[in-house]
Every structure is written in C-alpha cells, then in structure tokens.
A and B are shown apart, each in its own frame.
Chain A
Amino acid sequence: MIDKASWIAVYPEIVLLVMACVIAMTDLFVKNPRRTSTYVLTLLSLGVVALLNGLYAQGGQTIYAFGNMVVSDSMGNWLKCFATIAVMVTLVYGRPYAADRDMLRGGELFTLAMFSLLGMSVMISGNNFLVIYLGLELLTLSSYALVALRRDNANATEAAMKYFVLGAMASGFLLYGLSMMYGATGSLDVNAVFKAIASGQIKHQVLVFGLVFVVAGLAFKLGVVPFHMWIPDVYHGAPTAVTLLVAGAPKLAAFAIVIRLLVEGFLPLAFDWQQMLAVLAIASLLLGNLAAIAQTNLKRMLAYSTISQMGFVLLGLMAGVVNGNTLSAANAYSSAMFYMVTYVLTTLASFGVILLLAREGFESEEIADFAGLNQRSPLYAGVMAVCMFSLAGIPPMVGFYAKLSVLQALISSGQGVHIALAVFAVMMSLIGAFYYLRVVKVMYFDEPITATTVSAPMDVRAVLSVNGALVLLLGVVPGGLMSLCANAIVQMLKT
C-alpha cells in the first residue's frame, strides 16, 4: 500500500509525465509549421512544473517516498526547479532555430525535451541506485534522439552516434560500479549503503574498486578529463538548440547524482573519491583551458570551456572532508552547487545569442561570425560580453562569485595542497580569460562582415535580455542565491 505522502512527493514528475503524453497526442493535430500551440502548451506545463518544484523547495520539507526509493528535499527541488526553467528557456531560444531547419515537422523536440526533463527529475530525486540509473537512462536516451533530430545532417548524425556509443559505455561503467557497491553492501538504497560503509565492516578494497567505476561513470556524465571526448563533438555536431538542451539543464542533474551517490552514499569513502576528483579536476582545468585557446568554432570553444568549468566544480566537491572531518562539507558542496547553477545560467544566455544569430542556412558558430556584433546589435553583443566576462570570472559578473566561493572552500580547508590547488586554478582561469576575451574582442573591436541588423521574435528578445541581466545582477547582489544553495545543502547533509 503506497501512502498519500509518497504521491505528493512526486507530483511534479507526474504532471510532467502526463503533460508530455498529452502534448505528444495534441501535437498530432497541430498544422502550424512553427508548432505554436505545442510550444505554448509545453511552456505552460513546464511553468506549472517549475512552480510546483519551487513551492516544494520553498516549503523546505524532506520527504522520503515509495519506501525510500525517491526523496524530495530542498536541494533536489531547487535543482529540479532550475532545470525546468533551463529547459523552458532553451525551448524559447531554440524554436526559431529549429523551425528554420525543418526540425519542427513533428513536435518531437518538445516531447523529447519534456521526457529528458523527466529523466533529470528522476535522477535528482532518486534515492536508490536503480532509480537514479533509470532517470539517467531516460535522460540520455531522449538526448541521443534529440541530437539526431536533424537526421539528414551528417554532422548531427555523427555526433549522435558518438554520443550514443560513449554514453552507453559510461552508463555501463556506472552500472558496473553500482553493482559492485550493491554486492559489497547488500543494498541499493543510498542511505542504507551509507550506513553499511560507515559501519566499517566491509572490505575497503572492494568498495574502492566499485567506487572507481562509479566516479568514472559520473565523470563521463559531467564531461571531465579524461572522460571528456564526447563533449566537443556533441556540442559541435548537434543542432545548436539541442546542444543547449544537452549543455544546460542536464548539468544540474549530473551535479545532483554526484551529490546523491558520492556524498549521501559514499561519504565515508570521501578520502578516496576526493583524490580521484582532484586528479580529474587538475586534468580538466589544464586540458579544457589549453584546448579552448586553439578553437575557432565557438561551440567547440564553449565545449572545452565547459570541461574546465566542470574542473572548478570538482574542486569545490573535493574540499568537503578534511582529515575525516565534515565540518566544511556544507561550505564546499554549496559552493559547487552555486557554481553549477550560475554556470547553467550563463551557458543559457551565451547559447541564446548563438541561436539568435543563426539564420536559415547559416549557422553562426564560428567565432569570426560574431565580428562587429556590437555595431549590429549592442544589446546582444552586451549580453554575450557579460556572459564571457562571467565565464572568465571577472567581477561584477556572477561567474566571479562562483569562482570565489569554490576558491574560498578550498583555501579555508587550510591545507597546503588545497591552497596550491587554488593558485593553480586561478592561473588556469587566467588562461581562460584569454579565449573568453577573444570573443569580446571579435564582437567589439572588429568590423562587421555584414551590416544586417539582428532581429528576433519578441519572446526570445525578452527572455534573452532578462537572462543576460540576471548574469550581471546576480553578480551585483549574489547573496540570495548563495544563501539558497547553502541552506539547501545544509538541509541535505542533516538528513
């Protein structure tokens, strides 16, 4: 007998599932080539889901439902809320692009996006290895299909194939690691696993063996070196609207499963996984930043930049436990969460500008395509510049505070190694500043190749302006979002 509270905990997911099916059905009767009614209906449903998640998060309750299969807590609900909004924003930016490229012949873009969001929600809420895996597969399977949505485009199909092969391997890694953990601890329940490991009864070697595979699987999903190979190709090859679907919201879900598995499940093994994360972080910062310099394609550059940014997130995650002491855990994990949320916000706006400049038959993804954008449209050039400065970590953009909080988490652990890592990270972000600045240079200092003005539909213009303004405004007043992340993580750690 399933109790009522369990149903309440998964209301947002139920709404999402039902509406995804309803929209898939209604879309059959839509004749409009731009799918306006499907689009509006999708945004409305997602709006309701975001609102529900936001209300749950505001309430701040932690509910374990369906016999500990899923959990609805403040951290998860905020992440789900942000992920839903991110998908909504992506659809707003992506619709004109998709319509121009014959991707709206059916409503798959919308339904698949909703199913991938459902996958993310399940990942974020999962409190059981299998549930988390289920969500992950739902997300990735929808993403494979989305990447291949332009089925007559060679780049896109190649990207989809690569994504599928590497993604399947990553899932295999994760599943293998989880089954090792299950074998060692005898449970799939995250909390039970935690207790089993904490008891110290289980052989350390077996656990670490499983842990390596879990971390490798997670690293694939986050896209950190040396498991990053799919990122540049998928970012580059996928239609830009889908790139954003892959690059934006799923990062939040990936962060959530990192927290659920590594922190809530394997915290007693922190000493081991922190070392692994440190290696991954150093490699990502180094390779991501250096490789990004060489790129002439903006999407590829942003792909490598993502790799380095994820390196920063890992730095935040690895500062949680110092000498077996978890006092600084809340500080460290909440800075990582803040980093992730602001990173997604900035990514949305920067891809929004790329999507906006892409017109029928013209992709606008080379950095050179942005030449003189400031003269064609000061507003969009401004949004892009704000995003680039934010990614480079220059105050007063929000990206600076993300870097600040991660560095602070590292340094306040008080260990020499961590301080050295912080210095290494800031030096890498100096290299990073170079290629972000290059985009600004192209937009502001170079002469435009075409004099055409940039026009955009009302909805895109409004959302993009708000998005760009948020990157700046959250930098001027970052306190609210920081406290939100801190409270969410504190609550997560308590239970």
Chain B
Amino acid sequence: MSLLSLAIWTPILFGVVLLALGRDEQAGAVRWLALVGAVVSFLVTLPLYGGFKLDTAAMQFVEKGVWIERFNVNYHLGVDGISLWFVLLTAFINVVVVIAGWEVITRRVNQYMGAFLILSGLMIGVFCALDGMLFYVFFEATLIPMYLIIGIWGGPNKIYAAFKFFLYTLLGSLLMLVALIFLYTKSGGSFDLATWHKLPLSGTAQSLLFFSFFAAFAVKVPMWPVHTWLPDVHVEAPTGGSAVLAAIMLKLGAYGFLRFSMPIAPDASREWAWLIIALSLIAVIYVGLVAMVQRDMKKLVAYSSVAHMGFVTLGFFIFSDIGVSGGIVQMIAHGFVSAAMFLSIGVLYDRVHSREIASYGGVVNTMPKFTAFALLFAMANCGLPGTAGFVGEWMVILGAVKFNFWIGFGAATALIFGAAYTLWMFKRVYLGPVANDHVRALKDINAREFLTLGLLAVPVLYMGIYPKPFTDVMNVSVAELLKHVALSKLN
C-alpha cells in the first residue's frame, strides 16, 4: 500500500477498531489506543514531505485503480504543492485534538475518539482525491462524523447546531453533485480531474458550473452571506469539534476553489472574480466588525475565522502568484491558529463552564503559563509579524495592492479590526484584576494541556519566523495553476 492510502486508511482503521471494541469501562485503554492511532497516522504522512519533489507541478505519490467500473470512477490519489501541507496539517491537528479530549470527554470515549480518527482520514482523502466522484464521497462523508460529534458532545443547543451544520452544507454539495455528473457527461464519461481541467466548455456551461461549485464551497469556507451556520455551530460544538472544524473543514471549501472552480471554469472564474472579491472584502471588513461586538468568546473566534477565510478567497481570486500562495499560507496558518484559539477557550471552559467574556477577567493572575500561550495565539490571530498569521495576510495584501490599491487598502484595514477584536478580548479576559471567585479558583494548565498548546505554539512561531518550507512546496504548483487559469477554455 502506498503512502497516500496509508495516510487515509490508517486513522480510519484505528477509528473502526475503537468503535467496534471500545467500552466506557476501559476508557483509559481507549484513549491510549486513539493516541497511538493518531500518532501513527501522523507519522505515516511525514515521508510525504520528505519525498516531495519541489521542482515539478505534476501530481506526486500517485495511486490509481479502478473503483466503480460502470461509471469509470477511479481510486485516483495524488498530492501536489497545493494539497501536500493540508495532508500533514490534518494528521497533526488530529493528534492535538485527541490529546485535548483526553480527560474532558468521559462519556462514550471510544465513539468520540473513533469519530475524530475517521474524520481525519476522510479529510485527508478529500485533499488527495484526483477523481471527482472520489472527492465528493470523501467531502460528503465528513459530514457524518462531524454531525455526530456536534450532536453528542455539544452544548445545550447542540441539536439545532448539528442540523444546521448538516443541512446547510448538504444543500451546497448536492448542487455540486449535479455539476459533477454534468461534467462527467460532457467529458464523455470521465470523472478524472485532469481531464476536466482540459475540457473546453461554453461560457454558459462554465458559469453554471462555477456557481454550482460556488454553492458547495462558499458554504463550506464559509463566505459572507452564507456564513451564518458557522457561529452557531462553533458555539455548540465540543472544543475538539470546533478546532477541527475551523482548522481543517473550512479549508476543504477553499481547497475546492483551487481544485475545481478555478481550473475547470477559468473563464467564468475570471468573469465572476469581482463577485468573490467583493464578498471576501465584506467578510474581511464587515464580519471583522461583527466579531468585535461578540460577548461569547467562541462566537468571536468563529467570526474571526470567517474574516480570515475572507483573506484566503480574496487572495485566490486576484489571480497572482503572491495572492494565491498567500491564500494557501493563510489557510495553513489559520489551521494552527484557529485550532489553538479554540483549544484555549476550551481550557477556560473546562474550568469555569462559561464562554462569556464577561465571566472572566484577570486570568493572568491565576494562570500565568496559560496566559503566555494565549497571548502568543492572540498575536498570531491578529497577524503580528513573527507569527504564522502575519505571513499569509501580508502576502495577500501585497497581491491585492498590486491588483488594485483600494482592494488592498480594504483588506489591510482588516489587520486593524483583527487586532482590535482579538486584543480587546484578550484584555477583558486575561488582564486586569481578578474579576470573580471563579477566576480566583482557577488552576494553571496541567502537563497535558501544556503539551496540547505547546504542540501548536511551535508551528505558529516557526511558520512566522521561517515560512520558506511552506512557500517552497507550493511555488511551482501555484504557478502552473495560474498559467492554466489564464488560458481560455471557451469553445
């Protein structure tokens, strides 16, 4: 079995074993098995980075086998510079989430851990799939474990959130399914992505396809105005669920833009770029302002995720090297930072059982170690130079200014808003005198929590100081993608 298959199926296999054998009476063994599964799954993705060739835009580690003969669907996997980092990121976040849920989850531990492991395998599948139908199957299948995670371990209003999450995203994907079948017919019976990239299409067909994909991916990203599910879901989801949702699941949508919308419908993409840019700017500025007035920490971070993902889509649709690379870097950085933000909130929530900013104040006095981590992640979230958050945002703004000064200007204001809402929250929660007895009773983070946050702090700093390994990988693939998008496919 080759590397990509291993990366996909190892966590799924561990997850299935956990579901089949785990009992709540042996929760300890279940947790260790889950950790072993997550770590092994992460380790098998490392050779991907080691063996990745930087000088080619072609797909690497390709696997191809017949899957459904009748519809010419192939089990076709491969990664290029665009997808490589997401495979590693997914496997890495999975390890962190398993550790983060260690003693927090006490009910049905095996199902919790199993769901996360299976989810991680499925998401890696999305990033590796080179066949339209295979992509769709992985893309949709991720809904099932996430639905259960939100619904079983979520907060008081979890059922509303679980349904909203499932149905909202399903609505978008079903339209994409029609688009995929349409492409299958148009291309004379092929689900192969590379074939679709070369397929000439009329202007109308491209526009229709573009909007079908848009329905699926914009909901997933989520872009303004279809972002409303995200805050509701984040608030109710358990900490681990929020972390995976923000860190990886949102990226599935943005990744879809790069893999489907842009190369399959390049003319429509260029024609409708103004729309995406406009929506992205609204996300960046307006949603940034919305974030500022939130009282619930999770909601605030959720809105900040929408704003940050706005940067990503903005970067993609200005069609420049630096913009697209910046968008991808921003996706990776946001993966680390948003996971860290949600896990930090989780640390507080586990102790006080409140997400309201007003319930806190002066946490630094009782939890100095934790506050140090929280400060680092807050800085990364507002894009301070030297942290992961800075690199992507800076690249996107640079690209945007080159494209059009006022768009760049609009995007740049987001740095101010981002700093405003993040730092203001930080001030109210962590700084100042001890606000109440709950805060006075707080105990600083234990070794496990230290490990979780530490694991995330390392890449956040590393990426900010030395982003070269990240950008090097994607350069050739991004250039190739842009070359492809620049050519008209009209027939």
Whether A associates with B in a native complex is yes
Cβ contacts under 8 Å, A423 to chain B: 175, 178
The stretch of B82-90, B139-147, B468-476 that contacts the partner chain? B139-147
Say whether B178 contacts A395, CB under 8 Å. Answer: no
A378 and B107 alpha carbons, distance in the complex (Å): 13
Shortest Cβ distance from A382 into B: residue: B19
Q: Nearest chain A CB to B165's CB is how many angstroms away?
A: 11
A454 and B210 alpha carbons, distance in the complex (Å): 50
- Set A396, A412, A444: member contacting B185, Cβ < 8 A: A412
A187 and B75 alpha carbons, distance in the complex (Å): 50
Cβ contacts under 8 Å, A430 to chain B: 167, 170-171, 174
A422 and B69 alpha carbons, distance in the complex (Å): 23
Say whether A394 contacts B144, CB under 8 Å. Answer: yes
Say whether A407 contacts B158, CB under 8 Å. Answer: no
Render B151-163 as a binary contact track against A, CB cut-off 8 A, 1 for contact.
1100000110011
Render B123-149 as a binary contact track against A, CB cut-off 8 A, 1 for contact.
000000000010011001101100110
* A-B contact list, 15 entries, CB within 8 Å: A374-B152, A394-B141, A396-B137, A404-B133, A404-B177, A419-B178, A426-B175, A426-B178, A440-B148, A441-B159, A445-B152, A479-B70, A482-B68, A482-B71, A486-B70
Main secondary structure of the interface of B (DSSP, over half): helix
Q: Nearest chain B CB to A228's CB is how many angstroms away?
A: 25
Q: Nearest chain B CB to A408's CB is how many angstroms away?
A: 5
A407 and B179 alpha carbons, distance in the complex (Å): 11
Give A residues with C-beta under 8 Å from B: 374-375, 378, 382, 389, 394-396, 400-401, 404-405, 407-408, 411-412, 414, 419, 422-423, 426-427, 429-430, 433-434, 437, 440-441, 444-445, 477-479, 482-483, 486
Q: Nearest chain B CB to A253's CB is how many angstroms away?
A: 24
Cβ contacts under 8 Å, B269 to chain A: none
Q: Any chain A CB within 8 A of the CB of B319? A: no
Shortest Cβ distance from B66 into A: residue: A479
A-B pairs with CB below 8 Å: how many? Answer: 97
Cβ contacts under 8 Å, B27 to chain A: none
A226 and B260 alpha carbons, distance in the complex (Å): 41
Q: Nearest chain B CB to A431's CB is how many angstroms away?
A: 9
Say whether A433 contacts B167, CB under 8 Å. Answer: yes
A440 and B167 alpha carbons, distance in the complex (Å): 14
**Besides the contacts A426-B178, A429-B174, A479-B68, what 8 more A-B pairs have beta carbons closer than 8 Å?**
A407-B177, A407-B181, A430-B170, A430-B174, A437-B147, A444-B151, A478-B68, A479-B70
Shortest Cβ distance from A480 into B: residue: B69
Cβ contacts under 8 Å, A382 to chain B: 19
Cβ contacts under 8 Å, B140 to chain A: 394-395, 400
Cβ contacts under 8 Å, B147 to chain A: 437, 440
Main secondary structure of the interface of A (DSSP, over half): helix
Cβ contacts under 8 Å, B151 to chain A: 441, 444-445
Shortest Cβ distance from A422 into B: residue: B178
Q: Nearest chain A CB to B413's CB is how many angstroms away?
A: 38
Q: Given A411-B182, A483-B70, are A445 and B167 also a contact pair (CB < 8 Å)?
A: no
Q: Given A434-B163, A445-B158, A445-B159, are A407 and B171 also a contact pair (CB < 8 Å)?
A: no
A408 and B189 alpha carbons, distance in the complex (Å): 10
Cβ contacts under 8 Å, A395 to chain B: 136-137, 140-141
Interface members, chain B 170-213 (any A CB < 8 Å): 170-171, 174-175, 177-178, 181-182, 184-185
Say whether A444 contacts B166, CB under 8 Å. Answer: no
Q: Any chain A CB within 8 A of the CB of B111? A: yes
Q: Any chain A CB within 8 A of the CB of B32? A: no
Q: Any chain A CB within 8 A of the CB of B272? A: no
Q: Any chain A CB within 8 A of the CB of B67? A: yes
Say whether A434 contacts B181, CB under 8 Å. Answer: no
Cβ contacts under 8 Å, B66 to chain A: 479
Cβ contacts under 8 Å, B71 to chain A: 404-405, 408, 482
Say whether B144 contacts A389, CB under 8 Å. Answer: yes
Q: Nearest chain B CB to A442's CB is how many angstroms away?
A: 10
Cβ contacts under 8 Å, B170 to chain A: 394, 430, 433
Give B residues with C-beta under 8 Å from A: 19, 66-71, 108, 111, 133, 136-137, 140-141, 143-144, 147-148, 151-152, 158-159, 162-163, 166-167, 170-171, 174-175, 177-178, 181-182, 184-185
Residue with the greatest number of chain B CB neighbours at <10 A, chosen from A400, A411, A430, A477: A411
Q: Nearest chain A CB to B397's CB is how many angstroms away?
A: 38
Shortest Cβ distance from A442 into B: residue: B159
Say whether B167 contacts A404, CB under 8 Å. Answer: no
Say whether B174 contacts A445, CB under 8 Å. Answer: no
Cβ contacts under 8 Å, B67 to chain A: 477, 479
Q: Given A407-B178, A430-B174, are A441 and B162 also a contact pair (CB < 8 Å)?
A: yes
Q: Given A419-B182, A434-B167, A437-B163, are A400 and B70 also a contact pair (CB < 8 Å)?
A: no
A309 and B36 alpha carbons, distance in the complex (Å): 43
Q: Nearest chain A CB to B142's CB is how many angstroms away?
A: 10
Residue with the greatest number of chain A CB neighbours at <10 A, chosen from B147, B166, B171, B181: B181
Cβ contacts under 8 Å, B137 to chain A: 395-396, 400
Q: Nearest chain B CB to A58's CB is how many angstroms away?
A: 18
Say whether A437 contacts B166, CB under 8 Å. Answer: yes
Shortest Cβ distance from A409 into B: residue: B181
Q: Nearest chain A CB to B256's CB is how many angstroms away?
A: 16
A61 and B379 alpha carbons, distance in the complex (Å): 73
Say whether B175 contacts A411, CB under 8 Å. Answer: no
Cβ contacts under 8 Å, B148 to chain A: 440, 444
Q: Nearest chain A CB to B123's CB is how many angstroms away?
A: 14
A477 and B75 alpha carbons, distance in the complex (Å): 11
Q: Nearest chain B CB to A344's CB is how many angstroms away?
A: 20
Residue with the greatest number of chain B CB neighbours at <10 A, chosen from A374, A378, A414, A445: A445
Say whether A411 contacts B68, CB under 8 Å. Answer: no
Shortest Cβ distance from A410 into B: residue: B181
Shortest Cβ distance from A477 into B: residue: B67
A441 and B67 alpha carbons, distance in the complex (Å): 32
A396 and B170 alpha carbons, distance in the complex (Å): 14
Q: Nearest chain A CB to B196's CB is how many angstroms away?
A: 15
Say whether B174 contacts A411, CB under 8 Å. Answer: no
Shortest Cβ distance from B184 into A: residue: A408
A396 and B140 alpha carbons, distance in the complex (Å): 8
- Set A411, A437, A486: member contacting B181, Cβ < 8 A: A411
A478 and B175 alpha carbons, distance in the complex (Å): 22
A430 and B178 alpha carbons, distance in the complex (Å): 13
Say whether A408 contacts B68, CB under 8 Å. Answer: no
Cβ contacts under 8 Å, A374 to chain B: 108, 111, 152
Shortest Cβ distance from A431 into B: residue: B167
A92 and B102 alpha carbons, distance in the complex (Å): 42
A478 and B71 alpha carbons, distance in the complex (Å): 11
Q: Nearest chain B CB to A174's CB is how many angstroms away?
A: 33
A419 and B175 alpha carbons, distance in the complex (Å): 11
Shortest Cβ distance from B163 into A: residue: A437
Say whether A378 contacts B70, CB under 8 Å. Answer: no
A412 and B70 alpha carbons, distance in the complex (Å): 14
Q: Nearest chain A CB to B387's CB is how many angstroms away?
A: 38
Cβ contacts under 8 Å, B108 to chain A: 374-375
- Set B159, B166, B184: member contacting A433, Cβ < 8 A: B166
